[in-house]
Amino acid sequence: MGKVRIGIIGIGNMGSTHAENLMAGKVPGARLTAICDLRPERLEWAQKALGEEVQRFAAPEDLLQAGVTDAVMICTPHYSHPSLAIQAFDHDQHVLIEKPAGVYTKQVREMNEAAALSGKTFCIMYNQRTNPLYQKARELIQTGELGEIRRTNWIITSWYRSQSYYDSGGWRATWSGEGGGVLLNQAPHQLDLWQWICGMPVRVRAFMGFGRMHDIEVEDDVTAYVEYGNGATGVFITSTSDAPGTNRLEITGDRGKIVVEDGKITFYRLRVSERQFNKEYRGGFGEPECWKCEIPVHGHQTDHVGIMNNWVNSITTGAPLLAPGEEGILGLTLSNAMHLSAWTDDWVELPIDEDLFYEKLQEKVKDSTFKKETQDVTLDVRGTY
């Protein structure tokens, strides 16, 4: 086939960036043919910045019915990702959604079902999966180099946000506007990578500060403890008030420990596995010999453009997707479980009770300070970070 004709629904911070990348030829297999936004000023921007050859629409239905696209990118607020994706599948479109997949897993599951029925190529903008550091960490685990996982820890507090950031829009950090705080806005990438590398846990216990360090109604500080099926444990810590912040992933296995931090991977590799040493050693005090290895990592992170190229290549050649859209439900399951645990002050087993989560979320939305109905702001697009 020729170049894939792409439309972008939502020309906010991310949508406009994707549009500019397409216009700059950074995705050779695609061309931008249409954009959509309900705000006249964004349509005016598009006319000036993108040219007359890119058609402009004020409603997604108009773009989808125009017959000028083969695929669409959805860059709108969190709540609208699933509904717009389903509309796009109904119009025979391939779909790439921004993260997160949605706000609650029940709506994302419906989106996944629509994607499967459509037979179209469905991708999510988990651009951190293009980082060779995390690809190598995943490889070390999948090939058995680290042995069976014992413990995982991710401290991701390098998401500092000031009060002025939250004050820049009444929708920010509200239950009705965004559906959550740091877990929905800043940390979805790490939640995705955590499960992508280490697998999904079986239960979660979380503690959160809702507006602990900011004048907001959603979470800005999270400490979560998880347990895996093999008995391993994990901790996930994130915040938007730590300065300076930390980004450190540490995974301990039967054959040592890997640490991903400061742009490198360090492998503390045991000469023999801990289990073998424990069984055979007779010296009382002692521990396995450990080698500190700097793991070579090749390549560079291609970010959003890398995901876009992978999506287009998958459409045209059937190449495997690095970030299949269906997998967006996994990281969201973790954040939903963390929220539900904090709200109920109890453990949450996976899979979560989706109806209970939705019920609790609606209680938060009802009392939210951002009163405008979610469906009314479907295309009132904001930056996703």
Over the stretch 49-99, which tens digit does the pLDDT of each residue have? 999 999 999 999 999 999 999 999 999 999 999 999 999 999 999 999 999
Q: Give which of 167, 323, 157 is closest to 242, Cα–Cα.
A: 157
The Cα 111–Cα 212 span in angstroms is 34
Per-residue pLDDT, 360: 98
Q: What is the 3-state secondary structure (H, E, C) of 173-231?
A: CCCCCCCCCHHHHCCHHHHHHHHHHHCCCCEEEEEEEECCCCCCCCEEEEEEEEECCCC
Average pLDDT, the chain: 95
Q: Is the pLDDT of residue 378 over 90?
A: no
The Cα 251–Cα 230 span in angstroms is 15
Per-residue pLDDT, 86: 98
- Percent of the chain at pLDDT > 90 equals 94
148 within 8 A of 242, measured Cβ to Cβ = no
Q: Which stretch of DSSP H or E encloses residue 50?
A: helix 40-50
Residue 171: alpha-carbon gap to chain centroid: 20
Full set of structural domains in the chain with CATH: 4-127+303-321 (3.40.50.720), 129-299+331-377 (3.30.360.10)
346 within 8 A of 340, measured Cβ to Cβ = no
Q: Is the pLDDT of residue 384 over 50?
A: no
The Cα 326–Cα 63 span in angstroms is 24
The Cα 326–Cα 332 span in angstroms is 11
Q: Give which of 121, 151, 127, 330 is closest to 236, Cα–Cα.
A: 151
Per-residue pLDDT, 169: 81
Average pLDDT of span 154-178: 94
Sign of CA dihedral 153, 347, 124, 139: positive
Sheet with strand 71-74: strands edge to edge: 55-57, 30-36, 4-9, 71-74, 94-97, 122-124
